[in-house]
Structure 1
Amino acid sequence: MLGDDYITTQQWKKDFVPRKTEIVATLAWLQLPDLPIEFYHPEAVTRIASYVGKLVRLDRAMKLGARGKYARVCVEVDLSKPLLVQFKILGKEYDIQWEGLTNICFECGK
């Protein structure tokens, strides 16, 4: 994010015309607060992140096995779909907090 604008990148393809390309995905960091300790490891967080979007990378602290207030991951999200604000594990709901997505509607992703 630069100011209030989102910076998106995508792989160049044959006949790619930037002015005519619709932005359908963006990268975003999300936080998983209050995650139980048994799910606070890279394998579990990777699985949770894949439910939300395409995993891009784990936070450095998560890779090193450090536990903070929340697990943090970067995912590619499909902007044509609603952004998730919660997920369930074994019947219990947990919140998702998105970093810097103040200009995106959580209902439609636009």
Structure 2
Amino acid sequence: MPSRSLIKLRYILLLPSDDPNIVELPPRNEGLGKWESCLVGYFLDKKLPFNYIRNSTFNQWKNMGLKEVQANGDGFMFFIFDDMDACGRVLEEGPWYMGNQLLLLKKWKRMMRLTKEHVSQIPVWIKLFNVPMEYWDFERQSRISSKIGLPLFMDHLTSTGSTVSFARVCVEVNVDSPLPQNFFVKCEDEVVEIRVEYQGTPAKCEHCRVFGHDTKNCISNQVAQLVKMQKVTEEDKKDGWKTIKSKGKKKIGNQMKERAVKGVIPFK
């Protein structure tokens, strides 16, 4: 059972409204405390355990001013920071991944509707292997990664040349992007194969053309397939064929006629 707080409520006469189902609220002009420095986030694919999310975010954002993490029952997380500048730094340094899942973040605002949007474009970290050393600068990395999507930025190790195993770049991809596993770069007569690895790419639905669920488990796609099957069945009924149901015993002559109707034997 819930414990009772010491704060007492009181009855307030509601403001008049044209709709009896609407409660008119006056604007709140005073400060909103911790919610003014809050980020709201959710995952596209799977829900992760709350304790895992809390520990992971504190490991990454504690030095950036993270103070508190909360969650509701619909998969939304609330990250409370010291101030609004800390929220801005976290948003600027994204995208962020938890358990290889992309965490979508948005600044909290008044009267915010907590709905998971239809996402058709997402930022994705990619690893580019076998990139020639002379092409590890900003301009050439932009050109090469444009094969995958819209280049956003490199990670720190790639930009400083501190690693040579692979180039790590963040690109924005569309739900219709092919996401190749490899492609080739050519300079004059020399050709080099570039291998690509994608980090935390969420499932995508080709029917809805959004990220967040796959086509196989899409309810809208299943309904569309059922409607399509129904139309095919109705068209088959219009082509002149019909099924004759048997009722009891029949004479041989009647059976021959029925088989002729179905096109099995010529009917004379």
Common fold: TM-score over 0.5: yes
Q: CA deviation at 1:86?
A: 1.4
Q: CA deviation at 1:104?
A: 3.3
Question: What's the counterpart of residue 203 of structure 2?
Answer: 104
1:83 and 2:179 aligned: yes
Taking the aligned partners of 1:54 and 1:44, their CA distance within structure 2 comes to 14
Taking the aligned partners of 1:4 and 1:36, their CA distance within structure 2 comes to 28
1:26 and 2:122 aligned: yes
Contact kept? 2:154, 2:169, Cα under 8 Å: yes
Q: CA deviation at 1:72?
A: 0.6
Matches within 5 A, 1:1-110: 1-3=97-99, 5-8=101-104, 19=115, 21-90=117-186, 91-101=191-201, 103-104=202-203
SS at 1:38 equivalent: helix
Taking the aligned partners of 2:183 and 2:164, their CA distance within structure 1 comes to 20
Q: CA deviation at 1:29?
A: 0.6
User: What is the count of residue pairs matched by the alignment?
Assistant: 104
**Which protein is bigger by CA-based radius of gyration?**
2
Higher helix proportion:
2
Of structures 1 and 2, the one with the larger relative CO (CA 8 A, separation 6+) is: 1
Contact kept? 1:32, 1:70, Cα under 8 Å: yes
Name the % identity: 25
What CA RMSD, in Å, does the superposition of the two structures yield over aligned residues? 3.0
Q: 1:23 to 1:45 in 2, by over 3 A?
A: same
**What do residues 65-91 of structure 1 show as CA deviations (whole Å, max 9, x unaligned)?**
333311111111111222122121114
Structure 1 unmatched runs, 5+: 11-16
Stretch deviating more after TM superposition (57-66 or 70-79): 57-66
**What do residues 2-42 of structure 1 show as CA deviations (whole Å, max 9, x unaligned)?**
346433468xxxxxx87484210111111111222122222
Q: 1:19 to 1:93 in 2, by over 3 A?
A: same
Question: What's the counterpart of residue 14 of structure 1?
Answer: none
Contact kept? 1:40, 1:67, Cα under 8 Å: no
Contact kept? 1:85, 1:97, Cα under 8 Å: yes
Structure 2 unmatched runs, 5+: 1-96, 107-112, 212-268
Runs of 4+ in 1 over 6 A off after TM superposition: none
The residue type paired with residue 203 of structure 2 is I
